[in-house]
Amino acid sequence: MPVCYEVDATAGLIRVHFVGAISLADIFGYYSALSTDAALRPNLGVLADCREVTAVPSFGELSVIATAEGKTDPALRPTRGAAVVSSPWMFGIVRQFAALAEPSGARVVPFYDMEAAERWLRSELEGACVEKMATETDGS
Protein backbone atom coordinates (compact mmCIF):
# COMPACT_ATOMS: atom_id res chain seq x y z
CA MET A 1 0.00 0.00 0.00
CA PRO A 2 1.65 3.25 -1.12
CA VAL A 3 -0.10 5.46 1.47
CA CYS A 4 -1.12 4.47 4.96
CA TYR A 5 -1.96 6.62 7.95
CA GLU A 6 -2.99 6.55 11.57
CA VAL A 7 -4.51 9.24 13.75
CA ASP A 8 -2.44 9.61 16.91
CA ALA A 9 -4.84 11.66 19.05
CA THR A 10 -2.46 11.62 22.03
CA ALA A 11 0.27 13.33 20.01
CA GLY A 12 -2.21 15.47 18.07
CA LEU A 13 -0.97 14.05 14.77
CA ILE A 14 -1.99 12.25 11.65
CA ARG A 15 1.02 10.06 10.87
CA VAL A 16 1.23 9.28 7.16
CA HIS A 17 3.70 6.88 5.55
CA PHE A 18 4.32 7.06 1.79
CA VAL A 19 6.14 4.21 0.01
CA GLY A 20 7.20 3.81 -3.62
CA ALA A 21 5.57 5.54 -6.58
CA ILE A 22 2.72 7.72 -5.33
CA SER A 23 -0.15 8.51 -7.70
CA LEU A 24 -2.94 11.06 -7.70
CA ALA A 25 -5.38 8.19 -7.01
CA ASP A 26 -3.31 7.13 -3.96
CA ILE A 27 -3.50 10.62 -2.48
CA PHE A 28 -7.22 11.00 -3.11
CA GLY A 29 -7.78 7.53 -1.62
CA TYR A 30 -5.98 8.70 1.53
CA TYR A 31 -8.00 11.96 1.60
CA SER A 32 -11.23 9.98 1.22
CA ALA A 33 -10.38 7.53 4.02
CA LEU A 34 -9.29 10.35 6.32
CA SER A 35 -12.50 12.31 5.72
CA THR A 36 -14.57 9.49 7.25
CA ASP A 37 -12.20 8.56 10.08
CA ALA A 38 -14.00 8.89 13.42
CA ALA A 39 -10.68 9.77 15.14
CA LEU A 40 -10.30 12.98 13.10
CA ARG A 41 -10.59 16.11 15.24
CA PRO A 42 -9.65 19.81 15.02
CA ASN A 43 -6.03 20.97 15.29
CA LEU A 44 -4.31 17.77 14.20
CA GLY A 45 -1.03 18.20 12.38
CA VAL A 46 0.25 15.93 9.63
CA LEU A 47 3.59 14.17 10.00
CA ALA A 48 4.37 12.64 6.61
CA ASP A 49 7.20 10.13 6.27
CA CYS A 50 8.25 10.47 2.61
CA ARG A 51 11.67 8.86 2.93
CA GLU A 52 10.69 5.84 0.82
CA VAL A 53 8.99 7.72 -2.03
CA THR A 54 10.39 6.89 -5.48
CA ALA A 55 7.99 8.87 -7.73
CA VAL A 56 5.32 11.53 -7.25
CA PRO A 57 2.41 12.92 -9.26
CA SER A 58 3.15 15.52 -11.95
CA PHE A 59 3.38 19.21 -11.02
CA GLY A 60 -0.14 19.76 -12.37
CA GLU A 61 -1.46 16.89 -10.25
CA LEU A 62 0.41 18.23 -7.20
CA SER A 63 -1.42 21.51 -7.72
CA VAL A 64 -4.77 19.69 -7.72
CA ILE A 65 -3.79 17.79 -4.55
CA ALA A 66 -2.55 20.93 -2.78
CA THR A 67 -5.80 22.80 -3.35
CA ALA A 68 -8.24 19.89 -2.96
CA GLU A 69 -10.82 20.47 -0.27
CA GLY A 70 -12.35 17.01 -0.38
CA LYS A 71 -15.12 15.85 1.89
CA THR A 72 -13.44 16.64 5.19
CA ASP A 73 -15.26 19.16 7.37
CA PRO A 74 -13.29 22.44 7.10
CA ALA A 75 -13.08 22.64 10.91
CA LEU A 76 -11.27 19.28 10.90
CA ARG A 77 -8.91 19.91 7.98
CA PRO A 78 -5.25 19.91 9.03
CA THR A 79 -3.46 23.18 8.28
CA ARG A 80 0.08 22.25 9.39
CA GLY A 81 2.26 19.53 7.94
CA ALA A 82 5.83 18.35 8.26
CA ALA A 83 7.23 16.06 5.57
CA VAL A 84 10.35 14.03 6.32
CA VAL A 85 12.42 13.26 3.24
CA SER A 86 15.73 11.56 2.48
CA SER A 87 16.82 13.27 -0.74
CA PRO A 88 17.28 16.77 -2.11
CA TRP A 89 14.91 15.83 -4.96
CA MET A 90 12.05 15.08 -2.56
CA PHE A 91 12.90 18.12 -0.41
CA GLY A 92 12.33 20.25 -3.52
CA ILE A 93 9.05 18.48 -4.33
CA VAL A 94 7.75 19.18 -0.82
CA ARG A 95 8.75 22.84 -1.13
CA GLN A 96 6.83 23.06 -4.43
CA PHE A 97 3.81 21.42 -2.79
CA ALA A 98 4.07 23.86 0.13
CA ALA A 99 4.00 26.83 -2.23
CA LEU A 100 0.93 25.41 -3.98
CA ALA A 101 -0.87 24.66 -0.68
CA GLU A 102 -0.13 27.98 1.04
CA PRO A 103 -3.00 29.97 -0.56
CA SER A 104 -5.41 27.34 0.85
CA GLY A 105 -4.18 28.09 4.37
CA ALA A 106 -1.93 25.04 4.74
CA ARG A 107 1.65 25.35 5.93
CA VAL A 108 3.90 22.47 4.87
CA VAL A 109 7.61 22.27 5.66
CA PRO A 110 10.16 19.65 4.52
CA PHE A 111 12.68 18.12 6.92
CA TYR A 112 15.48 15.57 6.70
CA ASP A 113 15.19 14.66 10.39
CA MET A 114 12.08 13.08 11.97
CA GLU A 115 12.74 14.51 15.44
CA ALA A 116 13.17 18.04 14.07
CA ALA A 117 9.93 17.66 12.11
CA GLU A 118 8.06 16.52 15.22
CA ARG A 119 9.48 19.41 17.29
CA TRP A 120 8.45 21.96 14.64
CA LEU A 121 5.01 20.48 14.32
CA ARG A 122 4.46 20.47 18.10
CA SER A 123 5.47 24.15 18.28
CA GLU A 124 3.18 25.01 15.34
CA LEU A 125 0.23 23.16 16.86
CA GLU A 126 0.76 24.71 20.30
CA GLY A 127 0.79 28.14 18.64
CA ALA A 128 -2.44 27.35 16.77
CA CYS A 129 -4.15 26.33 20.02
CA VAL A 130 -3.04 29.56 21.73
CA GLU A 131 -4.35 31.62 18.77
CA LYS A 132 -7.68 29.76 18.84
CA MET A 133 -8.07 30.30 22.59
CA ALA A 134 -7.28 34.02 22.22
CA THR A 135 -9.89 34.37 19.45
CA GLU A 136 -12.52 32.56 21.51
CA THR A 137 -11.74 34.68 24.57
CA ASP A 138 -11.98 38.08 22.89
CA GLY A 139 -14.97 37.10 20.73
CA SER A 140 -13.26 37.83 17.39
State residue 140's pLDDT score.
52
Decide: 67 and 104 in contact? Cβ < 8 Å.
Answer: yes
Domain containing 28 equals: 3-138
State residue 124's pLDDT score.
84
Give the CATH number for residue 106: 3.40.50.10600
**Order of strands across the sheet with 107-111?**
3-8, 13-21, 45-55, 80-84, 107-111
Question: Using one digit for the tens of pLDDT, what is the confidence trace for 4-58?
Answer: 999 999 999 999 999 999 999 999 999 999 989 999 999 899 999 999 999 999 9
Question: Using one digit for the tens of pLDDT, what is the confidence trace for 103-127?
Answer: 988 999 999 999 999 999 999 877 7
Number of domains comprising the chain:
1
pTM: 0.87
Question: Using one digit for the tens of pLDDT, what is the confidence trace for 57-74?
Answer: 999 999 999 988 766 778
